[in-house]
Amino acid sequence: MDRKAIWLVLSAVALLMVSNYLTRALLPSFRPSNSDFSELYASSWLWRQGQNPYDSAPATAARQHIVGGSSDEIFLVNVPTALVLVAPFTLLPWGWANFLFLMLGVAGFAVTTFGILRLQGRSSWGLETAAMIVFLLSFSPFRIAFQWENIVVLVLPLLILTIVLAECKRDWQAGLLLGLTVCLKPQIGLWVGAYYLLRGRFKILWPAVAISLFITALFFLHPIPYPGVMGLYRSNMQHWFGPGGAYGFTEGSVPFLLLRTQGIFYLGTHSVFASNLMAHLLFLSGAGAWGILVWRFGDRIPCSLAIATLSSLSFLSLYHSIPDLSVLTLSLCDGFPASLRQWTRLQKLICGCLFLMMLPGRSITEFLHYHLSPPVIHSWWWDAFFVRYMVWLLMALSLTLLLRMREAQGKRAGA
């Protein structure tokens, strides 16, 4: 296929993706919604009114009153600091607040793209650059983040910009953005902080800690009935992650939503304790290898690769939603180099794993479910390997990224 044909294909895919973002996210922004952002918006509005945002009944009633949509109950598990940061949106009517949130997400996509190009070292526009941008537009978890209106559409650009500023030695600015990232989604931001802690970049960490403490103080200084906050928060966590919860890994959970390895271990052990233990040991083993590589080789390993690796490892045992997979696009900084002539086998494997994550695996699995015989779809290997394919992809990506860290430091040492 010649370059003109490739440009035409990329342009067609880009237009298709842009239309998807418009029709599935931006254009319906003024309608009633049951999106992730509507839960945060209603709960933050409740907090601003001096009520407990983790109380399911008033939060659900608040969303029906100020947002609309169905009467699905809200069991909020977002951290209190996220409610504080979302509070300014609640000064606007729902439609305008939602539209502003999504437009910030669009701007965030531009920041993410610019940041990845900057970290890749690309200085000119070309076919490879266009392919990378189309890849980002097409990456399923990122599109799902927009359609679900998940806060990760703001977290990812904050994370990318933090790394870019840190690379430019603008430490306090990077620290402030890191603090905001942690306050919005600690399960993403904390791993960036862990990397800079291990590297001794304390000038980044102090502003991050300061802004996090300030935002936390704002939550608790606002007059609400605090004695019930922690109890209701634990109750909401139990609703989602306890036995039978949709995001748990026992009977009654939704396999499509489960990205942790506990779901696979549970099929063999039928023990919550054993499954958690094995999953956490797997994560700690990978994190230990990661820590040794970062400690020994430091600047020889690109920071984007190191942070992407630890973030990928965290998916193995800790809760992440499907939109959180968007953070793995950070691995493109190393996996999709500026010059494809230097593309190694491990970098190709990284891009291959990300490409497989783009496929509509749930739709394919459901299609096969209705066209295969019951002995097949009820077999242990179908549940372990096909239904939970994303967990295996995450394990493969994590291992590949670890091996790539070792390969990258060797090449920089010999340069």
3-state secondary structure the chain: CCHHHHHHHHHHHHHHHHHHHHHHHHHHHHCCCCCHHHHHHHHHHHHHCCCCCCCHHHHHHHHHHHCCCCCCCCCCCCCHHHHHHHHHHHHCCHHHHHHHHHHHHHHHHHHHHHHHHHHHCCCCCCHHHHHHHHHHHHCHHHHHHHHHCCCHHHHHHHHHHHHHHHHCCCHHHHHHHHHHHHHHCHHHHHHHHHHHHHCCCHHHHHHHHHHHHHHHHHHHHCCCCHHHHHHHHHHHHHHHHCCCCCCCCCCCCCHHHCCCCHHHHHHHHCCHHHHHHHHHHHHHHHHHHHHHHHHHHHHHCCHHHHHHHHHHHHCCCCCCCHHHHHHHHHHHHHHCCCCHHHCCHHHHHHHHHHHHHHCCHHHHHHHHHHHCCHHHHCCHHHHHHHHCHHHHHHHHHHHHHHHHHHHHHHHHHHC
pLDDT at residue 30, as a whole number: 85
Residue 168 lies in a domain: no
Return the structure tokens found at 342. Answer: 């230097």
Residue 369 lies in a domain: yes
Residue 386 lies in a domain: yes
pLDDT at residue 149, as a whole number: 93
Helices 186-198 and 303-314, packing angle to 10 deg: 130
pLDDT at residue 252, as a whole number: 73
Sign of torsion, CA 90 180 154 325?
A: negative
pLDDT at residue 255, as a whole number: 74
Return the structure tokens found at 399. Answer: 């291992």
**What is the rounded end-to-end Cα distance, in angstroms, of the chain?**
35
Q: What is the pTM assigned to this prediction?
A: 0.92
Number of domains making up the chain: 1
Please list, residue by residue across 81-107, b when 16 or more beta carbons sit within 10 angstroms of its beta carbon and e when fewer do.
bbbbbbbebbeeebeebbbebbeebee
Q: How far apart are alpha carbons 92 and 86 in whole angstroms?
A: 11
Q: How far apart are alpha carbons 166 and 204 in whole angstroms?
A: 8
Residue 266 lies in a domain: yes
Residue 240 lies in a domain: no
pLDDT at residue 98, as a whole number: 94
User: What is the extent of the structural domain holding 281?
Assistant: 255-415
Residue 265 lies in a domain: yes
Residue 356 lies in a domain: yes
Residue 42 lies in a domain: no
CA 320 to chain centre: 7
- Mean pLDDT for each 10-residue chunk of the chain (415 residues)? 81 89 85 90 94 92 86 89 96 95 95 91 78 90 91 96 95 96 96 96 96 95 81 88 81 78 90 93 97 92 95 94 92 81 88 88 74 77 82 95 90 55
Sequence-ordered list of residues with C-beta below 8 angstroms from that of 213, at least 6 positions apart, any chain: none
